[in-house]
Amino acid sequence: MAADGGDGLTEPHRAALRGAPRPGSTRILLEPNLDASKPTGGFLRRFFRLAGAAEPSRAREATVIAFASGKGGTGKSFLTTNAAICLHRAGRRVAVVDCDFGLANAHLLFGVTPRYSVQHLLDGAVSVQQALTATPYGPGLVAGGSGVSSLAELDARHMQLLGRALHWLAGCHDVLLLDCPAGLSPQSLTTVLASQHAVVVTNPEIAALTDAYALIKCLARQPSRPQIHLIVNRVTQAGLGEATFERLADVSRRFAGCEIHYIGEVPEDAAVSQRRLGQPPLTVSHPQCATSQAIQTVLRNLECATGGLLPMAGETPGVEARMAAQLRRW
């Protein structure tokens, strides 16, 4: 058996990934002891009915898509927020949940300052309806916490509450996008596994590819998992994304027994790297630039791969049930 280098990968895994194209280099608990195991308790009633947040119809539930990455800095949040705007413009009712609860940034990319965040939600101070912030570009946002250490490592009870909140949101929208924290924490993996489709965002460099494979391998080990799709972001030449995908897909198939689906590449673009805080999202300010057009192509490919991003029937196990199933394995 080849030696493990501490990243969970054996030497054959690393050797296979090194062959990928590479361009120039670029716990603390919350104060309240929330008992989510008692659904008849007063907390949950306040949690969902405060300020008239009535339970939506269960006739159908949104398609839930988790944007995930093995490492930070791949452009995951940028793609999540711009994809949400494009889906809204196509007539979909869209909400984004920033699940990076300790280091959230989706609110900055949308240009909003939410009054409430997921911290208030899990504290029981506000309802889901109150925590859902309107953005100037259409999609709703449930903001994560930024620099809040108590949100960086939630326990199973808080994840149950999150699942219940996602259930409510999925009943009010056509598409629900989860901007998941990078890495392999139980909190992150549980959130990804609650989705129907996981979009793994990576870059063509070896470090990002190695971490993307580690994420795919962890997902592949689960008895029930979402379909896995891949976006290769920040490519420096046309076709590099597909070549990178082929290498990663081969490694995933051979060593993890997992099929992944390619939905496109997004180019390295000065219009992205030179953006400043306070500017509108790229698909709003520069809808015809190469990156905006690539995002549109990625969404068309994702729509084809998922059968149209159609809401599912209410009798099908939903996002709350999928998260509960994962929590039982904790």
User: What pLDDT is stored for residue 114 in this prediction?
Assistant: 95
Distances (CA, A) of 73 to 18, 79, 83, 96, 283: 20, 12, 17, 19, 20
Global confidence as pTM: 0.83
Angle between helical axes of 76-89 and 290-305 (0-180°, round to 10) = 80
Burial class (CB in 10 A: 0-12, 13-18, 19+), 277: exposed
Burial class (CB in 10 A: 0-12, 13-18, 19+), 186: middle
Lowest mean pLDDT among 11-25, 214-228, 312-326: 11-25
105-116 confidence digits (pLDDT tens): 999 999 999 999
Pick from 318, 255, 252: nearest CA to 63: 318
41-84 confidence digits (pLDDT tens): 444 444 444 444 555 555 689 999 999 999 999 999 999 999 99
Mean pLDDT of the chain: 85
Q: How confident is the model at residue 29 (pLDDT cuts 50, 70, 90)?
A: very low
Residue 281 contacts residue 271 (beta carbons within 8 Å): no
Backbone torsions φ then ψ of 65, nearest 5 degrees:
-120, 125
Q: How many CB atoms lie within 10 A of CB 43?
A: 16
User: What pLDDT is stored for residue 57 in this prediction?
Assistant: 53
Domains (ranges, CATH) in the chain? 62-327 (3.40.50.300)
Lowest mean pLDDT among 85-94, 143-152, 189-198: 143-152
DSSP element (H, E) containing 153: none
Q: Does the pLDDT value for residue 143 go beyond 90? A: yes
235-269 confidence digits (pLDDT tens): 999 999 999 999 999 999 999 999 999 999 999 99
Give CA–CA dist 117/121, Å, rounded: 7
Backbone torsions φ then ψ of 109, nearest 5 degrees:
-70, -30
Residue 151 contacts residue 118 (beta carbons within 8 Å): yes
Structure tokens at 62: 């949104």
Residues 6+ away with beta carbon under 8 Å from 207: 71
